[in-house]
Amino acid sequence: TADGWLMRSIRARLLILAAVWLTAALLGAFLFLSALLEDFITDRFDAESGALADALIASVQITDSGRVEVADPPADPRLMLPLSGWYWQAEADGLAVSRSPSLLDGRLSGPSGDFTGGHGTGADGALLRVLRREFTIPDSDALIAVTVTAPRQQIEESLRQIRQPLALALVILGLGLALASLVQVTTGLRSLDRLGSDLRRVRAGKAERLTRPDVSELQPLTAEIDAALDQNIALVTRSRQH
């Protein structure tokens, strides 16, 4: 059967082992690099959100009437586009005092405290990556919080654009390594094929001894076969003389 042939063939065993190892190694490399790229992409988006939060914090001030407001909000076009997923909101003691035009009449809600990389949902149901900063300013007892969000869809799209060429590159690399393994196995077993050919020539009476192989691993085997051939010739000679 085909399974039996595979188990009896050294060439097939080596190629199967090489294929399994290559598949596992390339899959592991893809998962590892994908994780690194995901961290890099999300860190980039978090850095943008952090920069927006810092700009908002710097713009927060107290009016003469004691009201908290954002005097000079960031002029990022993404914060102007309705339901873009890029939102910001400023709160004082839990009450929203200002928000980005992109948020329209919506409101960002979530847990209190400082955090980066939180998960939220926009008014349109889109998933968001949330950053929140809490702070106080002089001459005010209010606890002020700034929340900035980025759309998860853009993060996933950025990851998809990187993962596709990465997967293609690893597939091409795998095909190249598979071809190299095939050449390596074929070249490595060529000496065994030559040894079998020499044995057939000896059995056919076209040669008395085997050709010395060019690989050291087969030289002891060839020497033992030649010794067995010499012993056989000696036994045949003595039998004839007897």
Burial 120-129 (b: 16+ CB within 10 A, else e): bebeeebebb
Instruction: Supply the pLDDT for residue 163.
Output: 92
Rounded to an integer, the average pLDDT of 74-92 is 91
Give the residue from 126, 179, 180, 171 showing the smallest Cα distance to 149: 126
| pLDDT, greater one: 100 or 213 | 100
Angle among Cα 9, 13, 18 to the nearest 5 degrees reads: 150
Q: Smallest Cα–Cα separation from 132: which of 163, 108, 156?
A: 108
Note whether 117 and 66 are within 8 A (CB): no
Report, as an integer, the average pLDDT of 19-24.
91
**Per-range mean pLDDT, top range of 55-69, 77-91, 183-197:** 77-91
> Rounded mean pLDDT of 109-120?
85
**SS3 at position 142:** coil
Query: What is the pLDDT confidence band of residue 6, given thresholds at 50, 70 and 90?
Result: low
219: pLDDT confidence band, cut at 50, 70 and 90?
confident
- The per-residue pLDDT for 234 is 77
Convert the pLDDT of each residue in 44-66 to its tens digit.
999 999 999 999 999 988 887 77
95-106: pLDDT as tens digits:
888 999 998 888
Handedness of CA 61, 67, 71, 77 (dihedral sign): positive
Return the residue matching tokens 């059967």.
1
